[in-house]
């Protein structure tokens, strides 16, 4: 499904690094090819809004992935803090009241509901005494998030095709757990539900979030170009 998203915005590079200096260095290596970056909890705790503002000043788009989860009033006030920062995507995680509070407080940014973390597997569901499948859980949460006014969801590429088919083109789908090459997970990888960038986009994802395969690569641009090559074939 063509989504008219520029190729340099399809990949969101996750700046999952311990300092602003390291994050900025990675951005400078990647920004010739990518203009969308994610700041998660680790980097935000290290630099607060410094890196957010720096990215915006360089003309880049920002996904702030803090997965807001607290009492509704606290979430509302936290989301309001972002409205003057130029954040493009922010993430929320919680029940109906929490999501409603976040939706009510957002400005122009897109609010994404986290469905199920990509590090969460079927064994985890059974250990928690949960019934059904992860796919069913993701579908229920995504549908409810859309009903409550969220702009989209964060979901594994394994569920993206069903979400796109059932919930239509209005829903933004942002997919982490991206790995290059074959969909092979080694035992050291904490991500369980992984796909390639091309498979995620083919399934209906709008953006893919890529962290370690880029940040730990000897040649990040080579990794980005390979993934963009997969995506470009689908966007043509």
Whether 141 shows a pLDDT value over 80: the answer reads yes
Judge whether residue 2 has pLDDT over 90. Answer: no
Per-residue pLDDT reduced to its tens digit, 157-200 = 899 999 999 999 989 999 998 988 754 445 555 555 678 999 99
Q: What is the pLDDT of residues 31-60, one digit of tens each?
A: 999 999 999 999 999 999 999 999 999 999
Ranking 17-31, 57-71, 126-140, 143-157 by mean pLDDT, the lowest is 126-140
Task: Please give the pLDDT value at position 3.
Answer: 66
Q: Is 170 a catalytic site residue?
A: no
How high does pLDDT run on average in the chain? 90
pLDDT at 21 over 70: yes
Cβ(98)–Cβ(70) below 8 Å: yes
Q: What is the mean pLDDT of residues 90-116?
A: 94
Q: How confident is the model at residue 8 (pLDDT cuts 50, 70, 90)?
A: very high
User: Confidence class of residue 122 from pLDDT cuts 50, 70 and 90?
Assistant: low
Pick the CATH number of 7-235 from 3.90.110.10, 3.40.190.10, 3.20.20.70, 3.30.1280.10: 3.20.20.70
Determine the pLDDT at residue 183: 45
- The rounded distance, in Å, linking the Cα atoms of 120 and 155 is 11
Average pLDDT estimate for 101-116 = 93
Which of the four pLDDT bands, split at 50, 70 and 90, describes residue 127?
confident
- Reported as a pLDDT band with limits 50, 70 and 90, residue 1 is very low
Q: What is the pTM of this model?
A: 0.91
Catalytic position from the list 24, 67, 76, 170: 67
Parse the chain into domains and list their residue ranges: 7-235
């Amino acid at each position: 499904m063509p989504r008219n998203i520029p190729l340099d915005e399809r990949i969101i590079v996750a700046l999952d690094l311990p300092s602003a200096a390291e994050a900025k260095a990675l951005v400078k290596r990647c920004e010739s090819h990518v203009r969308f970056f994610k700041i998660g909890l680790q980097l935000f705790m290290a630099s607060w809004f410094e890196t957010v503002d720096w990215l915006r000043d360089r003309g880049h788009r920002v996904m702030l992935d803090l997965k807001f989860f607290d009492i509704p009033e606290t979430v509302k006030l936290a989301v309001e803090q972002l409205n003057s920062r130029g954040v493009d995507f922010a993430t929320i995680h919680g029940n109906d009241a929490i999501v409603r509070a976040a939706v009510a407080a957002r400005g122009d940014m897109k609010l994404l509901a986290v469905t199920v973390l990509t590090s969460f597997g079927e064994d985890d569901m059974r250990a928690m005494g949960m019934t059904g499948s992860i796919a069913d859980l993701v579908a229920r949460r995504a549908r409810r998030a859309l009903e409550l006014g969220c702009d989209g969801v964060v979901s594994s590429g394994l569920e993206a095709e069903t979400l796109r088919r059932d919930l239509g083109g209005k829903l933004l789908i942002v997919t982490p757990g991206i790995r290059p090459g074959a969909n092979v997970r080694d035992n050291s990888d904490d991500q369980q539900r992984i796909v390639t960038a091309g498979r995620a986009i083919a399934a209906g994802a709008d953006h893919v979030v890529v962290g370690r395969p880029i940040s730990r690569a000897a040649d990040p641009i080579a990794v980005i170009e390979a993934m963009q090559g997969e995506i470009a074939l689908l966007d043509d």
